Amino acid sequence: MRLSRSVVGEDEANAVSKVITEDGYLGMGTVAREFENAIARYIGIEPWQVISVNSGTAALHLACQTVYIQEQEKIRNLDGNPEFIIPSLTFVASFQAARAAGFKAVPCDVLLETGTMDLDDVQRRINKNTVAIMPVDYASNPWKLDETYAFASKNGLRVVEDAAHAFGCKHHRKKIGSFGDLVCFSFDGIKNITCGEGGCIIAFQKDAATLCADARLLGVKGDTAKRFAGARSWDPDVVHQGWRYHLSNIMAAIGIVQLKRLETEFIPARRRLYELYRQKLSDIENVAFFVTDPDDFIVPHILPLRILEEKRQLVANDLQARGIPTGMHYKPNHLLSLFGGGANRLPNVEKLYGELLTVPLHPCLADEDVILVCDEIKKVLGARNA
């Protein structure tokens, strides 16, 4: 049994093979453009809004850099470093991306019930140097996103949404990526769809989209349009810092096939396995699921359980002894040396750090696997009212 995996096969292999044998160009070209168009169609937005890159981290970095450039007037007039408030319970990529773009990454607490950003705690951390917030759709939970965007707008803050877990999800019937400021997806090996490695930014202003698109190709102005037309810029100008973050045709070819399989295979499989876990663990003492909004549509990328009453290690050890892999998403970022080393306490994140145990979840998992994991947890913790 595996905790997570890429679910790829013949169709992806054929698509890659076609790029190699027929297209003859492996870099960023027509296949990458086709992938962006397919994402735009899927989400229901315009093609210019989708900027594909070679990882989710690159997407977050470019989104943060775009905020920095667009807010440079405000930033020039600050006393200290511009600040980006980020929930501590996230992959370190969120923090590194904000830092790489020139921000001080300020960790904030999360809600115990959902694992998502606690807006009351954010409010307390806002000061004159605060420029932006980064809500994370933790465990594919788009909890109160409308409220989060309204909060940001009320406080004059930009938003980079880390939606790495949330491709295919909906908030109040709107697809993730169909609303927001700058929304970032990851298509790494284990996400809801994969390119092998890849990601994209969804932008809602033309300027922001252009800044992201140029910055993925070393800041060379207008290089995207040239490459999509099979050409190059031989007399370019460069205005801003840029990177080599573009997505190759090979990776894009995998993504195009994955996107076709999302609605028919991946979403139903992930949701069915998740429901089976819920059902099988419902009568077990000291296991809690994160709360979700019935008006949201969740496509679970990972399943972190809360194991209460300090029994997490007991369960983790037992599952490990049975050869069942588990994970821990995530070590809180405010405990990492680079982001404060625990100098500030975040009570809810730290409580969750003692409770969380991620159990196997991916579309290749069989019902019997889920039942086996649940029976094992039941053996350790016992049934409720037993």
Ligand X SMILES: *Cc1c(COP(=O)(O)O)cnc(C)c1O
String of contacts with ligand X for each residue 133-152, x by CB under 6 A = ---x----------------
> Which span sits near ligand X by CB under 6 A: 54-62, 103-111, 269-277, 306-314?
54-62
String of contacts with ligand X for each residue 176-215, x by CB under 6 A = ----------x-x----------x----------------
Phi-psi sector, 62: left (phi>0), alpha (psi -120 to 50), beta: alpha
Question: What is the per-residue DSSP string for 257-284?
Answer: HHHHHIIIIIHHHHHHHHHHHHHHHTTB
Closest distance of CB 163 from ligand X, Å: 9
Up-side HSE of residue 239: CA atoms within 13 Å toward CB?
10
Closer to ligand X by CB, 201 or 374: give it: 201
b/e map of 34-45 (b: 16 or more CB within 10 Å)?
bbbebbbebbeb
Closer to ligand X by CB, 68 or 330: give it: 330
> Which span sits near ligand X by CB under 6 A: 55-63, 269-277, 356-364, 370-378?
55-63
Scan for tokens 């904000």, then name that residue.
98
Rule CB under 6 A: is residue 57 a binding residue for ligand X?
yes
Closer to ligand X by CB, 56 or 142: give it: 56
Closer to ligand X by CB, 286 or 292: give it: 292
Closer to ligand X by CB, 94 or 348: give it: 94
Closest distance of CB 131 from ligand X, Å: 20
Burial class (CB in 10 A: 0-12, 13-18, 19+), 325: middle
Q: How many Å apart are CA 175 and CA 195, to the nearest integer? A: 20
Quick check: 236 and 223 in contact, CB under 8 A? Answer: yes
Closest distance of CB 67 from ligand X, Å: 16
Closest distance of CB 102 from ligand X, Å: 19
Closest distance of CB 221 from ligand X, Å: 26
Closer to ligand X by CB, 118 or 284: give it: 118
Question: What is the per-residue DSSP string for 183-194?
Answer: EEEE-BTTSSS-
Closest distance of CB 176 from ligand X, Å: 13
> Which span sits near ligand X by CB under 6 A: 77-85, 142-150, 160-168, 252-260?
160-168
Scan for tokens 């690159």, then name that residue.
58
Residues 86-125 within binding reach of ligand X (CB under 6 A): 90-91, 93-94
Rule CB under 6 A: is residue 299 a binding residue for ligand X?
no
Taking CA atoms, 20 is separated from 6, 13, 15, 27, 46, in Å, by 21, 11, 9, 11, 29
Quick check: 228 and 42 in contact, CB under 8 A? Answer: no
> Which span sits near ligand X by CB under 6 A: 125-133, 161-169, 223-231, 311-319?
161-169
Up-side HSE of residue 369: CA atoms within 13 Å toward CB?
18
What distance lies between CA 267 and its chain's CA centroid? 16
Q: How many Å apart are CA 101 and CA 98, to the nearest integer? A: 5
String of contacts with ligand X for each residue 324-343, x by CB under 6 A = --------------------
Report phi then psi at 161, rounded to 5: -90, 120
Closer to ligand X by CB, 54 or 286: give it: 54
Quick check: 2 and 325 in contact, CB under 8 A? Answer: yes
Among 33, 165, 280, 312, binds ligand X (CB under 6 A): 165
Question: Among the residues of 112-203, which ranges form H helices?
Answer: 119-125, 145-154
Compute the Cα dihedral for 82, 101, 335, 89 and give only its sign. Answer: positive
Size of the site for ligand X (CB under 6 A): 14
Closest distance of CB 45 from ligand X, Å: 20
> Which span sits near ligand X by CB under 6 A: 53-61, 142-150, 174-182, 275-283?
53-61
> Which span sits near ligand X by CB under 6 A: 33-41, 157-165, 168-176, 256-264?
157-165
Positions in the binding site for ligand X (CB under 6 A): 55-57, 90-91, 93-94, 136, 162, 164-165, 186, 188, 199
